[in-house]
Amino acid sequence: MTQPMDLAASADHAIVPVALIQPGIIWSCWNEGDALVFDHVEPPQDAPFRWIHLDLCDRRSQRWVTHEAGLPAEVSAPFIDIDIRAQGHWHRNALVLILPDLERDFDEVETGRVGALRVAYRDGLLLTGRHRPLKTPDTLRGRLAGAGPMDGVKALELVFAALGDLVSERTQTILSELLSLEDQILADEAAPDTRLLVAMRRLSARLHRMTVGMRSALHRLEDDPGLPADLATLVSRQGSRLSALDREIIAAQGQLRLLRDELDLQANQRTNENVYLLSVVTALFVPATLVTGFFGMNTGGLPGEHVAGGTTIAAIACAACSGATWLALRRMGLIRR
């Protein structure tokens, strides 16, 4: 006789597919002996240090971070959230950072938007994650490929170094392009395309937002008395570097404004010269127009009407009037030499 199925027992022993509990890993690395293993799978649980980069749009990643990563709720909640505001908190021996980063498309072309690189750390485990593709994780992946064994402080320093290098590289690009444009202006070459200046100004604004956001997150951490000494030293050092980078960005923005003012001044000067030339031409042709209008009247008794050289007389009169106008303008100082 068939035994009835015990639904409660079946629920307790339900088989959960592995695909539902594994996080959506983009890449990972872990210490194994004297080497750093780089792969795309979940690291061994007994590895002394693990670093996992997650796709946070994957619900498996959110579930894994919440239930399996061993992070307090105060850390896991902002890590999987979609809020991109810069944050930095230390809770119950765990760290969470939300750091601004430049977004890119899947074909590695920058989108011009600022996204968020999310970082969570506890002893022996570092998690990074993103909701949209970012630039910095690509840099980190390349640097980790040839790196040696890592620990938490080294890994966090690598994250900050990659972000700082990204900001520094973009800032130096702006400065070099500014120098090229200044040389072009000083050489009296063709005026540069203003669209390039607009693009540079937008990039500098994004970089300034990034440095301000990262500095804000680090300042919050510095004010936390429970932060370990080694992390406090790292935060202080990175804060100093970001302050220097922000000063470079502000200097670049100042140069951009000066260059824009110079271009506006040159454009106004060219406009004034064109208006001046048009005014002079108009002033010279008005008397001649009056003469031709007078001789063009369809009335009787016009001078030279029945003379063979009437047209010549009218032309001489037009030239004489324009010449007299020219001399009058010169005498009044309205004609530039």
**Predicted pLDDT of residue 282:** 80
**Predicted pLDDT of residue 296:** 65
Which pLDDT tens digit goes with each residue over 26-68? Answer: 999 999 888 889 888 989 988 999 999 999 999 999 999 998 8
Prediction pTM value? 0.74
CB atoms within 10 A of CB 55: 16
Lowest mean pLDDT among 5-9, 125-129, 150-154, 329-333: 5-9
Residue 162 tokens read as 């990659």
What does the alpha-carbon distance between residue 282 and residue 78 come to, in Å, rounded to a whole number?
70
Residue 12: which pLDDT band, with cuts at 50, 70 and 90? very low
Which pLDDT tens digit goes with each residue over 104-114? Answer: 887 666 677 89
What is each CA distance from 122 to 32, 70, 153, 196, 301, in whole angstroms? 19, 8, 11, 44, 108
Residue 224 tokens read as 């936390």
Better pLDDT: 158 or 314: 158
Better pLDDT: 268 or 12: 268
Is pLDDT of 3 > 90? Answer: no
DSSP codes of every residue in 139-167: HHHHHHTT-----HHHHHHHHHHHHHHHH
Q: Which segments of the chain are extended strands (E)?
A: 25-32, 35-39, 50-55, 87-91, 94-104, 110-122, 125-130
Residue 295: which pLDDT band, with cuts at 50, 70 and 90? low
Average pLDDT of the residues in 189-209: 83
Which domains does the chain possess? Answer: 17-148 (3.30.460.20), 151-275 (1.20.58.340)
Closest CA to 211 of 169, 243, 255: 243
